[in-house]
Amino acid sequence: MTDKLIIFDTTLRDGEQSPGASMTKDEKLRIARQLERLKVDVIEAGFAASSNGDFECVQTIARAIKDSTVCSLSRANDRDIARAGEALKDAARGRIHTFIATSPLHMEKKLRMTPDEVFEQSRQAVRFARNLVDDVEYSCEDGYRSEPDFLCRVIEEVIKQGASTINVPDTVGYAIPELYGAFIKNLRERIPNSDKAVWSVHCHNDLGMAVANSLAGVKIGGARQIECTINGLGERAGNCSLEEVVMAIKTRKDYFGLEVGIDARHIVAASRMVSQTTGFVVQPNKAVVGANAFAHASGIHQDGVLKARDTYEIMRAEDVGWSANKIVLGKLSGRTAFKQRLQELGVVMESEAETIAAFNRFKDLADKKADIFDEDILALVADQSQHSH
């Protein structure tokens, strides 16, 4: 099995399905270019058959992007697939991603189809898509709540028809990491031609476990593609977040042993771009891209980080595109951090006694004021010089 992990970004498709997150063609193109800069392997640009506007988005992105595969979603019917094929015609590398629900609940209540009909439609969809492009992904929607026997039957057949990626979504975010990993492992072991396709995970975050489930799908299940979005944007509670899953794989390479092609230095810019475009604010304590992700406020932590950054940092802020880690001065800060900030501000104190006096004034101020800005410190040091003369 390969040790290359494919990163499939669906910010522009599943991310956009988040209520209030719809994007214009120009906005989508700008984000697609940023995803290409990030070196995302596959960009799901939209759902070409869903509207003329989305068709144009997929087509524009397919024409502009050269280094990533560009993908369109389509239901498992000829019209959708033909539309996707048409939108992708000029892509350097195009993928049709066709899906149909396979869980008893969805087949019976939503599709009103029998399992045999879903089997047949899956077979025909993949066969038709393969006439249009070489790269076809098949998703069994609500896969995690589907009957394994039925999934084995369908997946074996769609691989025979030429699907080269098999995606098993946890559409409603119901999975638990170990169980989801074991579910995929079991399918891969039981399906005789399973190694002819790349297995993919696509997890929603309804129970806050989308990243953990995706990682388990990779580690336990043997999946080699993760579907994710910038900032975890997506339906309801969102999708697996790209920045978190990528940095987990990179930071814990000792455990996962996998290669990802992502150039993480563009992560923060991508996060800001998606946040500004959609108006979805990133929470300050969000891993990797939150404003506080690399900020240190307590004296003990600040002292540690100033002496050796890995005391409290498992990743480098610069490696994901922050300018540096952030020492936030406040009432919990210690003398080391205070002195360091004076140095950064170009303030030279005449003696250690003066520094201590300034530090004491700073602590008094910090008791009254939550955030101490550089201007406060400069004012406080200026005061100090008035006091000593």
Which residues in the 115-174 window bind ligand KIV by CB under 6 A? 139, 141, 167, 169, 171
Q: How far is CA 299 from CA 325, 329, 334, in A?
A: 15, 9, 4
Binding of residue 80 to ligand KIV (CB under 6 A): no
Binding site annotation covers 301? no
The answer to whether the CB of 109 falls within 8 A of the CB of 83 is no
- Burial category of 207 from C-beta neighbours within 10 Å (exposed 0-12, middle 13-18, buried 19 and up): middle
Binding of residue 95 to ligand KIV (CB under 6 A): no
Residue number with CB closer to ligand KIV (99 or 119): 99
Q: Which residue type is seen at 318?
A: E
Residue number with CB closer to ligand KIV (84 or 264): 84
CB 167, min distance to ligand KIV, A: 6
Secondary structure of 99-153 as H, E, C letters: EEECCHHHHHHHHCCCHHHHHHHHHHHHHHHHHHCCEEEEEEECHHHCCHHHHHH
Binding of residue 142 to Zn ion (CB under 5 A): no
Q: Which residue is nearest to Zn ion (CB)?
A: 14
Residue from 7, 8, 12, 14 touching ligand KIV (CB under 6 A): that is 14
Binding of residue 202 to ligand KIV (CB under 6 A): yes
Which residues in the 4-33 window bind Zn ion by CB under 5 A? 14
Binding of residue 170 to Zn ion (CB under 5 A): no
Of 140, 216, 231, the closest CA to residue 182 belongs to 216
Binding of residue 103 to ligand KIV (CB under 6 A): no
CB 203, min distance to ligand KIV, A: 8
Total chain residues near ligand KIV (CB under 6 A): 9
Tell whether the torsion through CA atoms of 215, 218, 221 and 225 is positive or negative. Answer: positive
Positions touching ligand KIV (CB under 6 A) are 14, 99, 139, 141, 167, 169, 171, 202, 204
